[in-house]
């Protein structure tokens, strides 16, 4: 345990650093200064985690980062691993995809790790902050014991939810956000790990209630940060795609409530493979009599590492829809003129879009690159289409070759007919192109309608 005085000093430093990084991130995002547009999610969330942990320590004298540092560090790879389980389900569900991702594989995977590692700390730190307040402090429920038969029934219900979401993804996609709670919580109870059934048995459901509130608060903040970021995720959830707050469908925010419970239950299950009972203040100093032996533990770590590597590759192939867009990929611009634009400082497609905000800069680029005003104006329109909901250059060129050359034409399309036209154009041109799914086309058409109306 670190000295309290030193931790208090560190808490003030962390608090100041978290606020400073958070504010600077927003300012530099607005100014479009890299790496903040690309890495904004990481800057925003890690500064929040640093901030909220410092507030918790100043209120309670104990926090996850400052007092339980080893448990905090242990949660980071666990957070990545747990979120990748949901990424596996998304390979089937196809409820979200990533856009404007870094094209360099090592950096991209670092970005995955840094982003996914915030999931557990974000929820747990928020829950601990709520626990340090008086919210629901006096709330008690009638204690209730659950038989082994009920445990088995709950586990079977959880397995059923997970199987239905995998085999009938269009209609049962939401069941994945409660399946692991039902499946694993009875297992945790029987093995002596922290369990919601145990809390209910003791008549204390404040912790799960605070976790649910924390999940909703984090979900709102996740979606708020994601909406403004350049590298982000887009949802294609069936049936609710017309009712969106930020990028998330309105009813989709309810999924963050059981998701927080799943994170807690899945983390408790992971802790069954350690001697410590858990990451919480009252649990991290308690130990089991037996733990997993070194050789099985080593093999388990190897298997988990292979799993993470495999899912990262699968995300690259299936879930990533577009990478950062550069001028040298814009085949609608003559190759020689692309080179001249790059020499004049227009390297990324976003640089072209920014030209549209300044007539002075447009005239300067026209002179520097020796291009006509009409040409530059057309390229700016093309660039706006490339950046529409992270469409990317590859998808833009697919639409362009099919005759959809501007936002107005795109806004008048029907998603089903457009996909059929893209398939026919691909066959006619003998191009083995990956045709976007109808749900993605609908996202672009909706965004194009809003852009044209504006």
Contacts of 422 (CB under 8 A, 6+ apart): 398, 399, 402, 433, 435, 436
Please state the φ and ψ torsions of residue 376, each to the nearest 5 degrees. -65, -40
Instruction: Find, among 312, 314, 339, 348, the residue nearest to 100 by Cα.
Output: 348
Contacts of 163 (CB under 8 A, 6+ apart): none
DSSP-assigned states of every residue in 23-66: HHHHHHHHTT-TTHHHHHHHHHHHHHHHHHHHHHHHHHS--HHH
Rounded to two decimals, the pTM is 0.92
Instruction: Find, among 22, 198, 53, the residue nearest to 123 by Cα.
Output: 53
Question: Are residues 322 and 394 in contact, defined by beta-carbon separation less than 8 angstroms?
Answer: yes
Task: Please report, in tens digits, the pLDDT of each residue of the chain (454 residues total).
Answer: 456 667 778 888 999 999 999 999 999 999 888 889 999 999 999 999 999 999 999 999 899 999 999 999 999 999 999 999 999 999 999 999 999 999 999 999 999 999 999 999 999 999 999 999 989 888 888 898 889 999 999 999 999 999 999 999 989 999 999 999 999 999 999 998 999 999 999 988 999 999 999 999 999 999 999 999 999 999 998 877 667 778 888 888 999 999 999 999 999 999 999 888 888 888 878 888 776 788 888 899 999 999 999 999 999 999 999 999 999 999 999 999 999 999 998 999 999 988 888 888 889 998 998 888 898 999 999 999 999 999 999 999 999 988 999 999 999 999 999 998 888 877 765 555 688 889 899 999 999 999 998 7
Dist. CA 47–CA 53, nearest whole Å? 10
Dist. CA 445–CA 375, nearest whole Å? 25
Question: Are residues 445 and 419 in contact, defined by beta-carbon separation less than 8 angstroms?
Answer: no
């Amino acid at each position: 345990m670190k000295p309290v005085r030193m931790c208090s000093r560190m808490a003030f430093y962390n608090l100041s650093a978290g606020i400073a990084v958070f504010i600077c991130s927003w300012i530099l995002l607005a100014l479009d200064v890299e790496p903040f547009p690309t890495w904004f999610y990481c800057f925003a969330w890690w500064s929040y985690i640093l901030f909220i942990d410092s507030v918790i320590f100043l209120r309670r004298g104990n926090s996850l980062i400052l007092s339980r540092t080893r448990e905090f560090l242990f949660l980071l790879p666990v957070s990545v691993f747990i979120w990748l389980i949901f990424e596996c389900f998304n390979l089937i569900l196809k409820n979200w995809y990533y856009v404007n991702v870094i094209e360099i594989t090592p950096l991209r995977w670092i970005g995955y790790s840094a982003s996914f590692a915030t999931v557990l700390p974000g929820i747990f730190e928020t829950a601990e902050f709520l626990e340090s307040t008086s919210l629901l402090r006096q709330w008690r429920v009638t204690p209730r014991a659950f038989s082994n038969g009920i445990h088995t029934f709950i586990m079977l219900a959880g397995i059923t939810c997970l199987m239905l979401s995998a085999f009938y993804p269009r209609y049962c996609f939401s069941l994945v956000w409660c399946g692991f709670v039902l499946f694993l919580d009875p297992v945790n109870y029987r093995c002596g790990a922290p369990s919601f059934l145990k809390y209910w048995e003791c008549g204390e459901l404040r912790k799960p209630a605070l976790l649910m509130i924390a999940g909703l608060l984090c979900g709102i903040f996740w979606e708020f940060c994601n909406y403004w970021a350049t590298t982000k995720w887009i949802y294609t959830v069936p049936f609710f795609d017309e009712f969106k707050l930020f990028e998330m469908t309105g009813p989709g925010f309810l999924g963050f409530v059981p998701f927080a419970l799943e994170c807690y239950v899945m983390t408790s299950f992971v802790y069954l493979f350690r001697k410590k009972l858990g990451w919480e203040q009252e649990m991290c100093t308690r130990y089991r009599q037996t733990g997993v032996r070194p050789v099985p533990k080593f093999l388990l770590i190897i298997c988990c590492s292979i799993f993470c590597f495999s899912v990262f590759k699968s995300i690259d192939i299936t879930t990533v829809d577009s990478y950062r867009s550069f001028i040298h990929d814009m085949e609608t611009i003559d190759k020689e003129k692309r080179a001249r634009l790059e020499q004049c400082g227009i390297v990324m497609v976003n640089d072209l879009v920014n030209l549209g905000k300044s007539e002075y800069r447009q005239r300067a680029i026209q002179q520097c690159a020796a291009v006509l005003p009409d040409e530059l104006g057309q390229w700016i329109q093309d660039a706006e289409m490339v950046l529409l909901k992270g469409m990317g250059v590859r998808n833009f060129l697919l639409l362009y070759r099919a005759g959809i050359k501007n936002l107005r034409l795109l806004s008048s399309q029907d998603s089903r007919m457009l996909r059929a036209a893209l398939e026919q154009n691909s066959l006619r041109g003998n191009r083995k192109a990956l045709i976007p799914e109808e749900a993605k086309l609908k996202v672009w058409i909706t965004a194009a309608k809003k852009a044209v109306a504006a």
